[in-house]
Structure 1
Amino acid sequence: MTHTEVEAGFHGVVSLLDGPLLLRGVGPDGDASLRQHRRLWNEPSRKTVPQLIEMSWKIGLTGRGGAEFPFARKLQAAVESGKKRELVVNCSEGEPASAKDSSLMLSAPHLVLDGAQLLADALDLHHVHVAVPGERPSVVAAIRAAIGERDRGRKAVEYEMHTTSGGFVGGQSAAVLEMISGRDNLPVTSRTPSAYSGLRGRPTLLSNAETLAHLAAVSDLGPERYARWGTSADPGTRLLSISADGPGGLVLEAPHGVPLAEMLEFCGYDPARPLLVGGYHGTWLSAQQVTSCTLSPADLARFGARLGAGVLLPMLPGDCPLSYTASIVDYLAGQRAKRCGPCTNGLPALADACTRLPRVRSHREAASLAERIEQLTGLVTGRGACAHPDGTARLVNSMLETFSPEIGNHVDGFCTYE
């Protein structure tokens, strides 16, 4: 297995390992050209919408931007109205802990654009919007270069790039649609899914970069060859960002079904420590849960967790889970769109309470503060203009559930994990 250094992280360089499907052929030479791409992948052959839907169902393709919604169902919804449609490729990746989409666009951008081409041909579209991360200039440049290599013939797809303003919520689907529409790159309350009514009120298929890369891969290989990786229940692979919000982070492609502990150990992390799954809006797994879980949506669901955008944050030696979670919540409170009460008032209050929790010095104070945190998470959940308050509350509730005994240890003046 080879690896290369890429400027894909929110804070700079991450290590990118080659993989079996989407990252095959990735090497230290860094050749992401269309010419090199065609040595590995064929020019996409035109598929109908029913064919794409059938392939997507066969491999269980879900959105890889965080929501994990079945792609086939989203595509079906976008075509049911019969109206003119819009197509958006979302490469924006606003979370600091995620670098997998940026790594993909730096190493294999044409696989993503092949997926977009398949959809554009099937939907009879000649214009595709591409949302790119404003805070990752190397990624923006790579996408621009890849688009420049694509066919410019009379029937070619035209790609229009839109650069986000940066920040955690800037890559959220509604925020991306707002930006493309010429408004502030911030989320808004939307009661109707974009697949029914999105950009300009049209049915809009907004898909994550990795999702489209998988669509291109299964279209080229066929469902049977694609399913050589993964399991019968979960064919294929996932791109994962591991500790990518700081130095030493990496991105790799792992088959579904691999034991989490085995994968973490391979990457140089201690599998006998807690793991935050799903990123800054994710769920904590205890060390015992990590050692008994595989890279499988169904397996993770046993512990109330999901992969989301494929972010894994192993707790490093010396880290305190209470302090680490508090630092994330403090960051998230600063990333609010300030368009609703739960974000404007609730998240700063929640961050303050979480920051105080590791410093409690009496059991009475600890119980009172834990009760206050539970009250705040209840107040912000389900009341925001977007899912940002809900995700933050999920992280905090997971901390309380997983590390409840640790609060008492802090009262007694020590931390089990430091």
Structure 2
Amino acid sequence: MTGRVPVLSAVGPPRLLAGLDRTPWLDLAAHLALHGPLPHLSGGELADLAEGVDLRGRGGAGFPFARKVRAVLDSRARTGPATAVVVNGSEGEPGCLKDTALLLHVPHLVLDGALLAAGALGAERVAVGVAREDVELSVRRAVAERGTVEPAVHVVRLPERFVTGEGSALIRGVGGGPALPSGRRVRSSESGLGGLPTLLSNTETFAQLAVAARLGVAGFRELGLPEEPGTVLLTVAGTHVVETPTGLPLPYALRVCGADVGQGLLAGGYHGAWLPAAAAAAATVSRGSLTAAGAVFGAGALLPLPEATCPVGETARVARWLAAESAGQCGPCFKGLPALAESLYAVARGGGVQATAAVQAALRAVERRGACGHPDGTARFVATSLAVFADDHAAHARGAGCGRPVLGALPLPEGVRGGEPRPAAARPPAPDERLVVDWTLCRGHGLCADLLPGILRLGPDGYPERAAIAVPARMRQRARRAVRRCPALALRVETAAGR
């Protein structure tokens, strides 16, 4: 499956997106002609380079890359020489397309960074986890252009789910298991892919590493802020990807992409935080500036909310989608997030003080209680919306509303409206559908039986009684929901034509 292809632009001379003014895909020859050969570094030199340019993970957490490198080196000293390198290119965030842009257009830059790190760490395994079909084809084409390299680069297609990009979920998925958070507090630098000490980071981080290795510390620092050198990739409004030096006024970056701050700005994507319009207008493109304003830089997703849409409805529809995207492996995800989303809808429909209190209770029930960061990230998204758009939430709760429609300005995956699949009239289901259980993956969680009462029954052992269950037309939407929520990804819907 393919998705949105971003519109690309740059403020000043691009580094990561260089060359794309002449060709939409840089093959190996064009890539080497533009960037030159890749140097070889030892593990210590790699860590020093990353520290010298203050390279931080660009996937959301902003963790110092040098510390990751040194953690893998320390683990290797204790456990033996074998290590692994994993590139997180899954990007399940609907408002973020920067990693997609790199892997679709300049995949060799990302492979450079991964192979540079692999050589420095003596890695025996390198893997790139992706979720889109077009991205997979682009990366495989780039890998094929390089011929035989050591270590070999493996490209692994993973499910297109929001939680796939969580570190332990990605490691498990790339390793052949379910792409779901493990819930264990074990660092990948200690035990990651195949149990090996693993250097895991996202696509942009490895691309920045490849640029820094060629420019050196001084050259890399020629652009950007002294405390945050270099350039960053931003995704604006879920459609544009712009490369800009750090320190640029944030409104300028939005204008380059044809946007403005609107009613307010969501910084950091759906696990990020809302900023009031005035705070967003005064911010710059930097972690420090956004943190000081009360937001997070995250993965560089900037989602301005247009004046014409309802902020309460927009928040509720994304919250419902986030609840549907949970791994369903803990109470805060399986029960808390749906309760939070439905409480928001109750506020939007004029549910009064009771609905407002239910939202606050649901927030308390999920915060700091999840097996992964999904509940906390969703709670931050909702809580900051309640603060920034307080008057709108209050007006809706009283029944007055704000008088604006819900335009769907916050992007959700194709085929999703309001956090649910499109109605049957827009996409008629095929006749003769059945729900199929993959016994090799099923772990007996039993969530499917809760979602499909009277259709799917559990046996005495807690597993489904049958491997294939006919799905009546009235239950097809719920069957697809059960497929999405299965923690082990052990369910699928088949049609007569697809068997």
- Normalized against structure 2, the TM-score is what? 0.77
1:267-416 superposed matches below 5 A: 267-360=257-350, 365-410=351-396, 411=398, 413-415=400-402
Paired AA for residue 143 in structure 1 = V
Partner of 2:215: 221
Matched, 1:264 2:254: yes
Matched, 1:202 2:196: yes
Please say if residues 283 and 293 of structure 2, whose CA atoms lie closer than 8 Å, have aligned partners that are also in contact. Answer: no
Structure 2 residue runs without a partner (length 5+): 406-499
Partner deviation per Cα, 1:200-245 (whole Å, 9 max, x = no partner):
322111111100011110110111111121111110111111122x
Identity of aligned residues (%): 39
Please say if residues 409 and 416 of structure 1, whose CA atoms lie closer than 8 Å, have aligned partners that are also in contact. Answer: no
In 2, Cα distance between equivalents of 1:149 and 1:77: 32
Please say if residues 63 and 207 of structure 1, whose CA atoms lie closer than 8 Å, have aligned partners that are also in contact. Answer: yes
Offset of 1:412 from its aligned partner? 6.4
In 1, Cα distance between equivalents of 2:169 and 2:390: 35
Please say if residues 265 and 271 of structure 1, whose CA atoms lie closer than 8 Å, have aligned partners that are also in contact. Answer: no
Offset of 1:414 from its aligned partner? 4.5
Partner deviation per Cα, 1:323-375 (whole Å, 9 max, x = no partner):
11111101001101111111110011011011222222xxxx54332222122
In 1, Cα distance between equivalents of 2:300 and 2:389: 23
Partner deviation per Cα, 1:280-337 (whole Å, 9 max, x = no partner):
1110011110111111111111122111111111112321111111111010011011
Matched, 1:102 2:100: yes
Matched, 1:143 2:139: yes
- Partner SS state of residue 222, structure 1: helix
Offset of 1:28 from its aligned partner? 5.6
Q: CA RMSD in A?
A: 1.8
In 2, Cα distance between equivalents of 1:357 and 1:54: 52
Offset of 1:126 from its aligned partner? 4.0
Matched, 1:12 2:4: yes
Please say if residues 318 and 417 of structure 1, whose CA atoms lie closer than 8 Å, have aligned partners that are also in contact. Answer: yes
Partner deviation per Cα, 1:364-418 (whole Å, 9 max, x = no partner):
x543322221221111112212111111011111111111122233336342876
Specify which structure has the bigger relative contact order, considering alpha-carbon pairs within 8 angstroms and separated by 6 or more residues: 1
Partner of 2:67: 73
Please say if residues 250 and 281 of structure 2, whose CA atoms lie closer than 8 Å, have aligned partners that are also in contact. Answer: yes
Segments ≥4 residues shifted beyond 6 Å: none
Partner of 1:187: 181
Please say if residues 262 and 307 of structure 2, whose CA atoms lie closer than 8 Å, have aligned partners that are also in contact. Answer: no
In 1, Cα distance between equivalents of 2:175 and 2:401: 52
Partner deviation per Cα, 1:132-170 (whole Å, 9 max, x = no partner):
11xx211110000001111415xx330111110111111
In 1, Cα distance between equivalents of 2:257 and 2:156: 34
1:55-70 superposed matches below 5 A: 55-70=49-64
Please say if residues 40 and 119 of structure 2, whose CA atoms lie closer than 8 Å, have aligned partners that are also in contact. Answer: yes
Offset of 1:270 from its aligned partner? 2.4
Please say if residues 366 and 407 of structure 1, whose CA atoms lie closer than 8 Å, have aligned partners that are also in contact. Answer: no
In 1, Cα distance between equivalents of 2:38 and 2:175: 30
Please say if residues 100 and 135 of structure 2, whose CA atoms lie closer than 8 Å, have aligned partners that are also in contact. Answer: yes
Number of residue pairs the alignment of both structures matches: 398
Matched, 1:128 2:126: yes
Please say if residues 61 and 211 of structure 1, whose CA atoms lie closer than 8 Å, have aligned partners that are also in contact. Answer: yes
Partner deviation per Cα, 1:15-39 (whole Å, 9 max, x = no partner):
1224521111212631320111011
In 1, Cα distance between equivalents of 2:162 and 2:335: 18
Partner of 2:87: 89
Would the alpha carbon gap of residues 32 and 349 (structure 1) be closer, same or farther in structure 2, given more than 3 Å must change?
Answer: same
Partner of 2:114: 116
- Partner SS state of residue 355, structure 1: helix
Please say if residues 84 and 196 of structure 2, whose CA atoms lie closer than 8 Å, have aligned partners that are also in contact. Answer: yes
In 2, Cα distance between equivalents of 1:253 and 1:201: 36
Matched, 1:54 2:54: no
Would the alpha carbon gap of residues 275 and 197 (structure 1) be closer, same or farther in structure 2, given more than 3 Å must change?
Answer: same
Paired AA for residue 6 in structure 2 = V
Would the alpha carbon gap of residues 28 and 12 (structure 1) be closer, same or farther in structure 2, given more than 3 Å must change?
Answer: farther
